[in-house]
Amino acid sequence: MPLDRSRYFDNAATTPLDPRVVAEMLPYLEEDFGNANSIHEWGRRAREGVELARERVAKLFGGSPDEIFFTSGATEANNWILSSFKSVAVSPFEHSSVWEAGIAKGFDVLDNEGYRLYGPRQSTDLLSVMVVCNESGAILELPEVGETTPSRVHRDATQALGKVPLNLADMDYASASAHKLYGPKGIGCLYVRDARPLPPMLFGGEQESGMRGGTLNVPAIVGFGAACAIALDQFEEDRAHAQELRQAFVAKLQGTSDWKSNCHDNNSPFILCLSFLGVQGETLVVEMDAAGFAISSGSACSSHSSEPSHFLESLGLPSRWSRGTVRIGFGRFNTLDQAERLATSLVSSVESLRALAK
């Protein structure tokens, strides 16, 4: 029996494929299967699909097609950019694909204070700061960079592309991933301003201007392009929908005690991060699953760990609060009715779990 996607509220972890995306991908899984680097008709057709997708992705970024380099996703794009510089400063809020890469390479992983003071020090070649935090949805501002020439800036735009306005002027590089905007998994890109050459991510082929070898995943690239075209077309509609659901959800929580939002005043409408005292986030995820809803506890990427994420730690949230943290990810296929039902179900679970613990 197919699951009801209107009850799936984990859209920050991944989104369902939009049926319009599937329809555009299908011909490239069937008859137009050629290698995009071949010069014959099959190859030319595949190449056309890839280049149209590159244009569509670039348009959503607000850049030009030659600035888009396809990768296997945002993890690869993040790893690539961090491997391309000798010294990088990483904000305290980053996704693990930036944060752990930063730690592994011995880079400057900033704490809150270090981030605030980053501008005046500015001792690194690259600063990496995500646009929208995947755990709370906070829209992050760059720190003041002072008067000397600022280092280059990388922005992980994975939770932002197609969802919040992007300001390309404040980034030299940006990462994105198709599966966060109703496209397929395993495809993403690195935006490189002015297509400045970088050390190749994968050696061994002339694909992606020699910067990322390997036969192109044409159906996935086509799907990414289709997803970006749809996101551009219905940018305001998607945002208004998420905003409406989010507000209705929060309104249903008003009678409940001892909860707080970890969101920012300037937040993505697609993400709500809440903490409830006296309950475990994981237990709430399991309870909601039993009720037929998908939500997550903190970041899905770290949800197998019961430790508070480095992001929640960076907020300075006491552990009695961070333990009870859940993330609700609103999306295109959720309905108002289901958002309200989820809120009612969550409140009733919180109350019965608290009563049991007494």
Instruction: Indicate which residues carry an active-site annotation.
Output: 301
Least separation in angstroms between CB 256 and ligand PMP? 28
298's tokens:
């903190």
| Residue with smaller CB distance to ligand PMP, 18 or 32 | 18
Largest CA distance in the chain: 72
Least separation in angstroms between CB 82 and ligand PMP? 12
Place of tokens 């699909």: 49
Piece of 56-64, 67-75, 214-222, 344-352 that binds ligand PMP (CB under 6 A) = 67-75
Distance CA 240, CA 244 (A): 6
Tell me which residue of 292, 328, 230, 160 sits closest to 18, measured CA to CA: 230
347 close to 355: Cβ distance less than 8 angstroms: no
Piece of 151-159, 209-217, 329-337, 350-358 that binds ligand PMP (CB under 6 A) = 151-159
| Residue with smaller CB distance to ligand PMP, 16 or 27 | 16
Name the pairing type of β-strands 152-156 and 173-177: parallel
**8-state DSSP, 178:** G
Footprint on residues 200-229 left by ligand PMP (CB under 6 A): none
233 close to 60: Cβ distance less than 8 angstroms: no
Least separation in angstroms between CB 71 and ligand PMP? 8
Least separation in angstroms between CB 250 and ligand PMP? 22
Interface pattern 71-110 for ligand PMP (x via CB under 6 A): --xxx--x----------------x-x-------------
45 is an interface residue for ligand PMP by CB under 6 A: no
77's tokens:
């794009």
Tell me which residue of 45, 32, 29, 35 sits closest to 205, measured CA to CA: 35
The residue with its CB nearest to ligand PMP is 73
Residue 243 identity (one-letter amino acid): Q
Least separation in angstroms between CB 109 and ligand PMP? 16
177 is an interface residue for ligand PMP by CB under 6 A: yes
The backbone torsions φ and ψ at residue 170, rounded to the nearest 5 degrees and listed phi first, read -100, 20
Residue 110: C-alpha distances to residues 98, 115, 122 (Å): 12, 6, 12
156 is an interface residue for ligand PMP by CB under 6 A: yes
Question: Looking at 49, 143, 188, 331, which residue binds ligand PMP (CB under 6 A)?
Answer: 188
328 close to 9: Cβ distance less than 8 angstroms: yes
| Residue with smaller CB distance to ligand PMP, 130 or 166 | 130
Please report, as ranges, the residues that interact with ligand PMP according to CB under 6 A.
73-75, 78, 95, 97, 130, 134, 156, 158-159, 177, 188, 301
